[in-house]
Amino acid sequence: MPITQLNIRAVRNLSELSLSPSPGINIIHGPNGSGKSSVLEAIHMLGLCRSFRTNKLNHLIQTGASQCTVFAQVDAMGTGASQPLGVERNLESDCRIRYAGNNIDITTLAELLPVQVINAETFMILEGSPAVRRQFLDWGSFHSNPEFIRLWRGFRRVLKQRNSLLKYGKIEQRIRAVWDQEFISYAEQLNTLRELYIEALKPEFDVILADLLEGVSIDLSFSPGWDKKRGLDQVLNDNFERDLRQGYTSAGPQRADLRLKVDGHTAAERLSRGQKKIVVSSLKLAQGVLFYKLNSRACIYLIDDLPSELDQQHSRLFCHYLEKTASQCFITSVDKEALTGYWSDQAELRFFNIQEGAFSTQ
């Protein structure tokens, strides 16, 4: 169980809040504006040192406060031994992270407390830009291979340098060859890890989708961001004059995409709004199942207002699969009864009623 005790201070309307969550399903219910989503936001900050709702710290930090803090006791490795974890953000954007008495960086934090968010914006995986799908893809790649973050950072550094040279407008052939070679090396390694992740994710996704959305088959595939038939070296050479005019690199992993198709058409075009939500929910559940298989521990799910996102039948099926992932889940709902009957008798279920930023356990 990742979080055994949670303390939140000065996050939006949550002045001082503490709870002892269940290792399984935690349902946070209360009226709109009571602070339900702020609890999820605080847990997300605990795992990634940032909000999933805003980039503006003055919105996250309570009015009149100079900083916000989230502290928890976490059993990050699933050994049964909890350690203290604390994250503090101030208005100057400083982030201080302490785990087991030591300062740690954001990468280590993300490894310790893997967090999955499902909310209204999550469904942009289908309808949004490729950047949204790359973020989904890279979450999984990061948690499935320890080499991923090194390669990703190396590639971003080389891409930034290559784009700077293109913007400058004149590049000596010798210098261009050096940077292209390094670009290709990082790109191909990064691409391999992404491909391996999608290959592992696809069967998990297919099984879950078959139960949640009968009669609809989704073809899930990966586009690397360049024409692999020609090879990246040839693509970079062919695109060079255009890239020079535009001032940026037009092919490579920074253009990768995850493609979902139904009968040869994009899922975003062919599916109804409700079907899209089920497909994206299936993707997120598949990530949790695969994470558990690869790491022998579960991630944490933060699910904002589930009843408004899925109908009753699909909410029930979704909750069934969510319970099977053995994940610790925090789910918000305006109505307590909307989610009461969706769990097995074995589910470790706990309800928290929130009113104006304060909890009562039920």
Annotated binding site for ATP: which residue ranges?
30-37
| Residue 22 scores a pLDDT above 80 | yes
Of the candidates 331, 340, 298, 254, the one whose C-alpha atom is nearest the C-alpha of residue 28 is: 331
Q: Distance between CA atoms of 285 and 302, rounded to whole angstroms?
A: 12
Identify the pLDDT of residue 120: 86
pLDDT at residue 319 is higher than 60: yes
CA distance 326 to 324: 5
DSSP 299-319: -EEEES-HHHHS-HHHHHHHH
Res 4: pLDDT: 94
As a whole-number percent, the residues of the chain with pLDDT over 90 amount to 70
Instruction: Tell me: pLDDT of 359 over 70.
Output: yes
- Contact assessment for residue 22 and residue 350, using Cβ atoms and an 8 Å cutoff: yes
- Enter the tokens of residue 165: 């040279």
Query: What pLDDT digit, counting tens, does each position of 30-89 carry?
Result: 988 889 999 999 999 999 998 888 887 778 889 889 999 999 999 987 777 899 999 999
Average pLDDT over residues 96-106: 95
Within 8 A by CB and 6+ apart from 49, the residues are 87, 89, 95, 97, 106, 109
Residue 214 has pLDDT above 90, yes or no: no
User: In this predicted structure, what is the pLDDT of residue 78?
Assistant: 74
Phi, psi of 74 (to 5 degrees): -130, 140
State the CB neighbour count (10 A cutoff) for residue 64.
Answer: 7
Contact 60, 11 (CB under 8 A): yes
Sequence-ordered list of residues with C-beta below 8 angstroms from that of 2, at least 6 positions apart, any chain: 74, 75, 76, 113, 298, 300, 328
pLDDT at 225 over 70: yes
What are the structural domains of the chain?
A: 3-114+300-361 (3.40.50.300), 130-262 (1.20.1050.90)
Mean of pLDDT over the chain: 92
**Which residues are annotated as part of the binding site?**
30-37
pLDDT > 70 in the chain, percent: 99
Give the whole-angstrom CA distance, residue 34 versus residue 42.
Answer: 14
User: According to the model, what pLDDT value does residue 361 have?
Assistant: 55
Residue 273 has what pLDDT? Answer: 87
The pTM score is 0.93
DSSP symbol at 329:
E
Give the number of C-alpha atoms closer than 13 A to the C-alpha of residue 165, restricted to the C-beta side: 19
Give the per-residue pLDDT at 23. 93
Please report the pLDDT score of residue 293 as a whole number: 94
pLDDT digits (tens, 9 = 90+) for 256-303: 999 999 999 999 999 988 899 899 999 999 999 999 999 999 999 999
Q: What per-residue confidence (pLDDT) applies to 306?
A: 82
Helices 173-212 and 148-168, axial angle in degrees (round to 10): 130
| Whole-number Cα distances in Å, 334 to 28, 29, 180, 320, 338 | 8, 5, 54, 20, 8
Q: What band does 223 get if pLDDT is binned at 50, 70 and 90? A: very high
Residue 110: pLDDT band by 50, 70, 90 thresholds? very high
Average of pLDDT values for 140-149? Answer: 97
For residue 346, give the H/E element and its range.
none
Summarize the confidence of residues 346-350 as an average pLDDT. Answer: 91
